[in-house]
Amino acid sequence: MSMNPCDIIRKKRFGGELSEMEIRAFVDGVVDGSFADYQASALLMAVCINGMTDRETLALTLAMAKSGDTLDLSDIPGVKADKHSTGGVGDTTSLILVPLVAACGVKMAKMSGRGLGFTGGTLDKLESIPGMSISKDIVDFKWQVKNIGCAIIGQTAELAPADKALYALRDVTATVDCLPLVVSSILSKKLAAGCDVVVLDVKAGSGAIMDTPEKSRKLAEMMVRIGSLSGKRFSALITDMDQPLGNYIGNALEVEEAIDVLVGRTGGDLKTVALTLGAHILRNAGAAPDVQTGIRMLEAKIVSGEGLRTFGDMIEAQGGDRRVVEDTGLLPKAPHKVVLKAERDGYVVKMHTSDIGNAARLLGAGRERKTDVLDLSVGIVMNVRLGDAVKKGDLLATLHVGERSDRIGAYNLLKKSIVIGDEKPEAKPLIQAVVE
């Protein structure tokens, strides 16, 4: 049955609730081109202004998930799980939790994205490992998940093509941060990818997509609600992005820090968030009775070396040099280092996380446009955390600089983004809320 785009736009413009059939007609029209870009844009703006009910958001999510291929992972025995982050700086949790969760017996079938703007992309990080390939066909992907327990690849199949088309329009019509559109965009790809359990990491703070704690909370609650209505098991954690999660920012540097965590050489906020997310996956998959037990199980896989071994197996299965897990010196290294020192005594009172991410981007670690070519060796190593006491001349951060880096731009932006004051700031919780 053909539906007139104008009728659908008019109904939403006046605040009406669209039927499942009208939403399906819209999504199909975006994919096959029978909805013109200007009509789709008009409807996106109407949704942005008038919102959507849960029923509409679920219908939109499911229609987008079914707009292309959907993966059937049912022939892989056991529970299949995935994790999604709304994007942060120094956030390498996937590279830590995927092998650890797999070592605990829950299959991790993960499709990831590339970095854009100040947020790092998991695929770019993996590609800094010599020889590592992030493209696999579905047969190989499923074989790897079944036999090794985990895989992280780029979106191979034409999963949720409606999302690609709609995201491009949202990007140029100022409708990116509209909640129902954010939720359907993220969840449609996760549902199309076929996992049973999904844990979401929703960032809050100065380096987050949602700029206030209230908005982050709303996004987390809506994603869990809509995700659970689809019949899958969803949980979300709201985690702090008022400073980079790890101390290493940049592609090869973040792989190095992930390996340091898996070896047991380093801890801190990055490890805490990775293990907490992993423990929620274990609990939701029925592999652990509760989150605390899940954290202990993951810790045990670090101590026994099984998590690191599984990471090595995954790297090898995807064509990479597994020796990097024993020797991070095999990762690309930037030719120059520039140090940033404190200009006064005091405390680190504030960090502008998105500016720190953008400083790494100016060095060549991130993209402004999708076509930009990255320098996988460059980035920033932070030497301080919020609340640390510093003396004049203390090392705040080290910039790892390449030949193409805008070293002056990056240095000045980084310098501005770390604020030193007289009073020690109050510590904020790292994990602000759990949404079940």
* CA atoms of 417 and 355, how far apart (whole Å): 6
pLDDT on residue 368: 79
Percent of the chain scoring above 70 in pLDDT: 99
Q: Does 112 map to a domain?
A: yes
Of 288, 310, 325, the one marking the end of a domain is 325
Residues 302 and 375 in one domain: no
Tell me how crowded residue 31 is: count the other CB atoms within 10 A of its CB: 20
Q: Residue 246 pLDDT more than 90?
A: yes
Residue 159 pLDDT grade (very low, low, confident, very high; cuts 50, 70, 90): confident
Span 45-70, mean pLDDT?
Answer: 96
Span 240-244, mean pLDDT?
Answer: 95
Please give the residue range of the domain that contains residue 313: 80-325
Residue 157 pLDDT grade (very low, low, confident, very high; cuts 50, 70, 90): low
Residue 103 pLDDT grade (very low, low, confident, very high; cuts 50, 70, 90): very high
Q: Residue 116 pLDDT more than 70?
A: no
Please give, one letter per residue, the 3-state secondary structure of 186-233.
HHHHHHHCCCCEEEEEEEECCCCCCCCHHHHHHHHHHHHHHHHHCCCE
Q: Residue 1 pLDDT more than 80?
A: no
Residues 180 and 163 in one domain: yes
Tell me the per-residue pLDDT of 252-273, one tens digit each, with 9 for 90 and over.
Answer: 999 999 999 999 999 999 999 9
Residue 3 pLDDT grade (very low, low, confident, very high; cuts 50, 70, 90): confident
Residues 254 and 349 in one domain: no
Tell me how crowded residue 215 is: count the other CB atoms within 10 A of its CB: 17
Residues 161 and 303 in one domain: yes
Higher per-residue confidence, 251 vs 205 = 251
* CA atoms of 159 and 71, how far apart (whole Å): 8
Chain mean pLDDT for the chain: 95
Q: Does 65 map to a domain?
A: no
Q: What is the CATH classification number for the domain harbouring 14?
A: 1.20.970.10
Q: Residue 108 pLDDT more than 70?
A: yes
Q: Where are the beta strands (DSSP E) in 260-394?
A: 336-341, 346-351, 379-382, 389-390
Residues 291 and 357 in one domain: no
Residues 287 and 138 in one domain: yes
* CA atoms of 80 and 198, how far apart (whole Å): 9
Percent of the chain scoring above 90 in pLDDT: 88
Q: Does 348 map to a domain?
A: yes
* CA atoms of 376 and 252, how far apart (whole Å): 6
Query: Is the Cβ–Cβ distance between 189 and 159 less than 8 Å?
Result: yes
Q: What are the strands of the beta sheet with 418-421, ordered from one edge?
A: 389-390, 346-351, 418-421
DSSP 291: H
Residues 20 and 127 in one domain: no
124 closest CA partner among 245, 254, 275: 254
Q: Does 64 map to a domain?
A: no
In terms of phi and psi (left: phi > 0; alpha: psi -120 to 50; beta: otherwise), the region of 162 is: alpha
Q: Which of 116-120, 121-125, 277-281, 282-286 has the lowest mean pLDDT?
A: 116-120
Higher per-residue confidence, 160 vs 380 = 380
* CA atoms of 268 and 147, how far apart (whole Å): 32
The residues carrying an active-site annotation are 84, 163, 170, 185, 189
Residues 127 and 41 in one domain: no
Residues 22 and 95 in one domain: no
Adjacent-strand bridge partners of 339: 398
353 closest CA partner among 413, 394, 264: 413
Q: Which single residue is written with the structure tokens 């709304």?
A: 86
- Which secondary structure element, helix H or strand E, spans residue 234, and what is its range? strand 233-240
Tell me the per-residue pLDDT of 365-418, one tens digit each, with 9 for 90 and over.
Answer: 998 777 888 999 999 999 999 999 999 999 999 999 999 999 999 999 999 999
* CA atoms of 97 and 274, how far apart (whole Å): 6
Query: Is the Cβ–Cβ distance between 120 and 91 less than 8 Å?
Result: yes
* CA atoms of 388 and 418, how far apart (whole Å): 12
Of 325, 341, 356, the one marking the end of a domain is 325
Higher per-residue confidence, 205 vs 35 = 35
Residues 403 and 356 in one domain: yes
Q: Does 10 map to a domain?
A: yes
pLDDT on residue 177: 84
Span 296-306, mean pLDDT?
Answer: 98
Q: Which single residue is written with the structure tokens 């005594």?
A: 345
Residues 34 and 143 in one domain: no
Residues 275 and 218 in one domain: yes
pLDDT on residue 2: 56
Q: Does 391 map to a domain?
A: yes
Q: Residue 206 pLDDT more than 90?
A: no
Q: Residue 150 pLDDT more than 90?
A: yes
Q: How many Cα neighbours within 13 Å face the side chain of 121?
A: 23
pLDDT on residue 196: 96
Q: What is the CATH classification number for the domain harbouring 158?
A: 3.40.1030.10
Tell me the per-residue pLDDT of 183-202, one tens digit each, with 9 for 90 and over.
Answer: 999 999 999 999 999 999 99
pLDDT on residue 274: 98
Span 284-313, mean pLDDT?
Answer: 98
Q: What is the CATH classification number for the domain harbouring 351?
A: 3.90.1170.30
Of 325, 358, 384, the one marking the end of a domain is 325
Residue 278 pLDDT grade (very low, low, confident, very high; cuts 50, 70, 90): very high
Q: Does 71 map to a domain?
A: no
pLDDT on residue 367: 86
CB < 8 Å & 24+ apart, contacts of 391-398 = 391/342, 391/345, 392/342, 392/343, 392/344, 392/345, 393/341, 393/342, 394/341, 394/342, 395/339, 395/340, 395/341, 395/342, 396/340, 396/341, 396/342, 396/348, 397/339, 397/340, 398/337, 398/338, 398/339, 398/340
Total count of domains within the chain: 3
Q: Does 24 map to a domain?
A: yes
Span 92-116, mean pLDDT?
Answer: 93
